Amino acid sequence: NLPPDCSGDTSNMAAPNAVDSMPLAPGQSSEEKDPDVNLCCPSALSCCLAAMLPCAWFGACRVIEPNTHAVLLSWGEYKGTLSQEGCYCINPCGNSLDLVSTKVQTTDFKSVKVIDKNGTPVNMDGVVSWTVFSAKRASLDVQNHAYFVREQAAGAVKQAAGMFPFESTEEPSMRTTPDAVTEAIQTTLQERVNVAGVRVVNFAITDLSYAPEIAQAMLVRQQAEATLKARKIIVEGAVTIATKAVEQLKDNDISINNETQGDLVRNLVTVLCSDRGVQPTMGL
């Protein structure tokens, strides 16, 4: 298929690439489409040389595969982008094509150390799915757009996740509300990779844990908190049981004085709150 610039026929043009119809990520600005290109005469010099050397056209056909964009450089100057698959005849004099994949790709990162809102070091693993919406930016504005995404993802995690505590019952946290954390990271990452022509499709946290240097201390704290909550429940239940026992004795017309009532409540609470087996004793 010849490009519209050369043949004038647009009936055989391929359908737009799937990446063009993807929704924008949260917080992402509108994306500018790369300009189309004149393949037969991208520059006056190329046109003159091609006319003088017709034999050079024998190797001028190039195939653009689906989900691939091609950046055309003419004598080192950007001329436009091919965004439709097909077979093209390109002026061979002084022109080159740089192919950029627009397929959805995934980049994972391991053990990124994040300092949470409370100053606690946390290790986070995650995976980000992304695609290229501007082949020009991905090819010309950054050295290696895939490596750029990987490095910026780690920075975005440290910046965005640091605004949340690791765990909390009073505000959004990494453990209780992971969706809010991933949305903040995705928005921050999108702002960072726009310069590379990359659209962030999705971000997911795959693992979350305390940093090794404080993991043991945090485990002890969690165990203490769990023990405290359990003791609180036990004490509340013991008081309730002792109170109902006294009330039932009174309802059954069993008369006990205040001293006996106090001893009964104290003994019941002691037995119920003890974490060991209790052996009853009787005074003589």
Distance CA 80, CA 15 (A): 19
Which tokens belong to 116? 């949470």
Highest mean pLDDT among 51-55, 75-79, 157-161, 231-235: 157-161
Question: 132-143, pLDDT tens digit by residue?
Answer: 999 999 999 999
CA-based nearest residue to 31, from 69, 65, 64: 69
Question: 247-257, pLDDT tens digit by residue?
Answer: 888 788 777 77
Q: Residue 266 pLDDT > 90, yes or no?
A: no
CA-based nearest residue to 124, from 169, 154, 168: 154
Q: What is the 3-state secondary structure (H, E, C) of 152-207?
A: HHHHHHHHHHCCCCCCCCCCCCCCCCHHHHHHHHHHHHHHHHHHHCEEEEEEEEEE
Q: Summarize the confidence of residues 60-68 as an average pLDDT.
A: 83
Which residue is associated with the tokens 């949260």?
26
Q: Residue 203 pLDDT > 80, yes or no?
A: yes
**269 or 143: whose pLDDT is higher?**
143
Q: Residue 76 pLDDT > 90, yes or no?
A: no
First to last CA, the chain: 110
Question: 145-197, pLDDT tens digit by residue?
Answer: 999 999 999 999 999 988 999 888 788 889 888 899 999 999 999 999 999 99
pLDDT number for residue 278: 64
pLDDT number for residue 163: 92
